[in-house]
Chains A and B, each alone.
Chain A
């Protein structure tokens, strides 16, 4: 029994893991955990991750949660090419810096917009008030500006001339608001160029395959959600939106 990755590709960090593992030909068993069906709450999955979140990993008897921890584990165990997590002290620190900063900024605001624009309306049957959406969009725009000015600057990738974990983690997060209908790349040519570079570096086909679900998120319907999960989801998302 080899490496098992517990994933739902609707989730950004799951996509990062999936793309990283496939791109590096890391052998693993894809264990589907469908969030909309509540499969993350099953007793079986709780044995893998009692926090009931995806992604999760099991390697023999060793289980691990948190996408960044799992990515770094794979880097080390499978000795992936250096550029993913450079051995150069300063370049590595740049990657660490981004991976730390992104939690509340890019990930937080990107998720928030996705929840407000797509997921909550799906669950409640009504769109959110436009001022709320505007507010969330503005917050995302502000962190995008920081991303471009502080992290990307004029470099091809965050750590310099080659792709690293930072770029992969960043891009999968930015695809979430895109999936909800906010094309944040449209008027940001520098960001769009960077996105193309990342897609090419991991493989365009793989990238597109990983994002098929999220880019069709608009076609999700409420009956795809397990009825017993509906109320729980609604409450959980409403709470998340106020915290993000």
Chain B
């Protein structure tokens, strides 16, 4: 029993891990977790406990979130931790997490800043445009969406001016974990119809470079689900999940 990765490709951090592992030919067993079809105690941010493939899922991560990793008896949560573990264990090419202490620090710097900036704003687009209407039956709150887009714009501005600047990639001439983590997050608004790359040519160029670096086909395959997010509306959401999430989502609307 080798490396197991518990993933739902609707989730941004899951996509970065999936792309990283596949791009580096790291052998792993893909353990599908479907966040929206789960039973009690599940939901976005929690691993689904579907009987068929959940023997590990519930136990895998005490945090009950995706992504999660299981390597023998060792279990791990948190995207950054998983990416770093994989890069070390499988000795991936240096550029992903450079041994140069300053370049490495710049990757760390981005990965840290990402949490409370890009990752704080980008996912909300999906909540507002898809999940809230889906779960609560309430119409799309457009002022709320505008608020979210403004927050995201501010983060994108900082991203371009402070992190990317005029470089090909965040830390220079080669792709690193920082670019991968950033790009998957920015694909979330794209998937729900907020194309943040549209009026941002520099960002679009960077995205193309990242796609080329990991492999265009792999990139699109990883993003197939998010591009087809509309189909989520047709998924039969577990009723208990709906019941559990509706009040949380209503709170977000305030």
Contact = CB atoms under 8 A, between A and B. Distances in A.
A93 B84 contact: yes
B204 interface: no
B77 A101 contact: yes
A191 interface: no
B105 A93 contact: no
A150 B62 contact: yes
B70 to A, nearest CB: 12
Contact of B63 (A89, A94, A150): A150
A73 B101 contact: yes
Given A68-B112, A101-B63, A104-B115, A96 B81 contact: yes
Majority secondary structure of chain B interface residues (helix, strand, loop or mixed): helix
A82 interface: no
A69 interface: yes
A93 B76 contact: yes
Contacts of A50: 161-162
Contacts of A90: 74
B105 A149 contact: no
A128 interface: no
Contact of A76 (B62, B104, B106, B116): B104
Given A89-B85, A100-B79, A69 B74 contact: no
A65 B109 contact: yes
B211 interface: no
B88 interface: yes
Nearest to B84: A96
B85 to A, nearest CB: 5
Contacts of A69: 105-106, 108-109, 112
B120 interface: yes
A76 B103 CA distance: 12
Nearest to B82: A93
Interface in B76-114: 76-82, 84-85, 88-89, 101-102, 104-106, 108-109, 112-113
A26 to B, nearest CB: 14
Interface of B: 62-63, 74, 76-82, 84-85, 88-89, 101-102, 104-106, 108-109, 112-113, 115-116, 120, 151, 158, 161-162
Given A70-B105, A96-B85, A100-B79, 7 more contacts: A62-B102, A69-B112, A73-B108, A89-B88, A97-B76, A101-B77, A243-B151
**Nearest 4 CB-CB pairings of A with B:** A69-B108, A96-B81, A69-B109, A66-B112
